[in-house]
Amino acid sequence: MALDLNMLEWARAQFAMTALFHFFFVPFTLGMSFIVAFFETIYVKTGKEEWKSITQFWQLIFAINFALGLSTGIIHEFEFGTNWSTYSWVVGDIFGAPLAVEGIVAFFMEATFAAISFFGWKRVSKGVHLASSWLLAIGSNLSALWILIANGFMQHPSNEFLKFDIDTSRAVMVDFWKLIAQPVAQVKFLHVVSAGYTLASIFVLGISAYYLLRKKHVEFAKKSAAVAAAFGLVSSIFVAVIGDEHAYEVANTQPTKIAAMEGLYVGEKGAPIVAFGFPKNLPANEVTSNDQAFAFKIEIPKLLSILGKRNPNAFVPGLKDLIDGNPEYGIWPLSKLAKIGAEARADLRAYHEAKAKGDTAAMEAAKRDFYSVVWSGPNGLKLTKSDLIGYGYFANNNVNPDLIHPPVPPVFYSFHIMVGLGFWFILLFLWAWIAVIKGSFENSKLLQTLATLSVPLPWIATSFGWMTAEIGRQPWTVFGMLPTAESATPIALQNVQATFFMFLTAFVILGIAELKILFTVVKHGPKGAH
C-alpha cells in the first residue's frame, strides 16, 4: 500500500497530540517526586506533624499526576507499532534498548516504591518510607533518562554507537555504552529534568501564594513556599546554564535546527541572537539577507556565535548555506549529500540483488562501496556513504530543497517563548526567595498574585521547548538517517483518523477529570493545616 500524505499528516498530528498531552504530566512528576521527598526528609528530621501534613498533601497531588502520566505513556509507546512501524523496523534495535530499560525501571522500581510511598504510611517505619520516597523520585528521573537517551539518538545518530547494516537494511547498535554517554542525550536529560523541577516549584509556590492571598492554611503555605522558592531558584538557574550547553550541542549536530530557532537564513561571522522579532515564512532561495527574513527584530550582537561555537567571531551557517553549501567553511550542499545518499541506496539494492543471485563478488563490491569513507575529520571521526543514506530520499530533482529544513516561524516562536518564560521564572524565584529570607512573603500581595498567575506558565514553557526540539528535527524522524515521510505505517487514512479522535476524546476526559480532582484537592487544602 502506497503511503498517503494525508495519512502521514494525521499520523504526525496524532503522535504530537499524544506526546504533548503525556508531557503535561512528565515534568510535574519529575519535580514533585523530589519536592515530596524534601518535605518528608524535613518531617523525619524534625518529627513535627505539621511537616507530615505538608508532605501528604503534596504527595496526594503527585499521586494523581503520576497515575495519569503512566496511562498516557503506555498509549504513546503503542503508537510506534501502529502508525510508525517502518521506523520501528529500521531503528528498533537501537531505539528499543533504552525503552526496554525504561520499562523495567518504570514498572518495577517506580511501581514498587510508589506503592510503599503512597500506601505505606502506617505499614512501614519512617526510615523505610522515606527511603521509598527518595527511590521513587530517583526511579522517576531514571525513567526520563532512558527515554531521553532514545530521543537523543533520534536527534544525533552517531556512527560511534550505530551502523546501518547492509544485510538486514536496519540500523544496529555497535556500542551500548556510547549510546548512553552521547552528549546530546545527557544535556537533553539535564535540561528536561531541571525544567521539571522548575515547573513543580512554580506549582507549589503558586498554590502556596494562593492560600496566602485567601488567608487560608497560612503556616502550611509559608513553609511550602520556602522550600519551593529555594529549590526553584537553583533549578531555574540550572535550566538556563544547561540550556546554553544544550544549544551548543544542537548547533554542532543539528545546524538546520539552530538556524530555524534564530531565523538565520544567511550564515554570518559574529552571528547575533534575535532577542525579539517577527520572522516571515519565506523559501530560503528567496532570502538574500537576514534582515529580509523579519518584519521586525531586536538583536544581541555576536551572541549566537558565542552560544553555538564558543567564539564571538565564529561563522554560524544559515539555511541557505546548508542547502546550497559553503565551500569556504567546508559545508556540503544538499545536492552532494543527496547524491552520496542515493549511491548508498543503490549499493544497498545491488547487494541484495547480488545476494539473491548468489553472486558473492558483486555482494562484496557493493558492500565495500556502501561502507566507503567519504569524509575524515579530527579525532578519528569518519563519515561513510552508509551514514548519509537518508539523504538519498531527497535525490529527486523535483524535491523542494526547502523541505530539508524545519519551518522557521513555529520553531523560532517556540524557542523564544520558552526562553522568555525561563528568565521570568528565575526572576520570580529570586524575588520569592529574598521575600522568604526577609519574612515578607506573607505580606507581599503583588508577589503572591504573580506567583499564583504563573502556575500554568511552566507547562507552556515545557510544551514549547518540546515543540522546538521535535519540529526543529523535521523533516527527519532520525536526523540525517530516516525521513519522517519514510517512517510511517502505510495504513488506511480512516484508521488513523478514527484512532486520532478516540485518543482526543480520551485525553479530553482524562484532562477534565484531573483538573477537577486537582481543583478539589487544592480547594479543600491539607488536613489539619492552619
Separation between Cα atoms, residue 33 and residue 123, nearest integer Å: 20
pLDDT at 1 over 70: no
The least confident of 5-9, 235-239, 446-450 is 5-9
Q: Which amino acid is at 169?
A: S
* Nearest in space to 391 (alpha carbons), one of 107, 168, 383: 383
pLDDT at 105 over 80: no
Q: Could you read off the pLDDT of 196-221 as tens digits, one per residue?
A: 999 999 999 999 999 999 999 899 99
How are beta strands 382-384 and 373-376 bridged, if at all?
antiparallel
The model's pTM: 0.91
- What is the model's pLDDT at position 530? 47
CA-to-CA separations, 128 to 119, 123, 124, 125, 139, in angstroms, rounded: 12, 10, 6, 5, 16
- What is the model's pLDDT at position 485? 86
Cell 510544551 sits on residue:
463
pLDDT > 70 fraction of the chain, expressed in percent and rounded: 97
- What is the model's pLDDT at position 376? 86
C-alpha cell at 142: 531514571
Q: What are the start-end ranges of the E strands in 260-316? A: 268-269, 273-279, 294-300, 315-316
Could you state, in order of their start, the residue ranges of all structural domains in the chain? 5-257+404-522, 258-327, 328-403
Contact present, 507 and 296 (Cβ < 8 Å): no
Distance, C-alpha 293 to centroid of its chain: 27
| DSSP states along 155-214 | H---TTTEEEETTTTEEEES-HHHHHH-HHHHHHHHHHHHHHHHHHHHHHHHHHHHHHHT
- What is the model's pLDDT at position 54? 92
Separation between Cα atoms, residue 424 and residue 15, nearest integer Å: 30
Band of pLDDT at residue 319, cut at 50, 70 and 90: very high
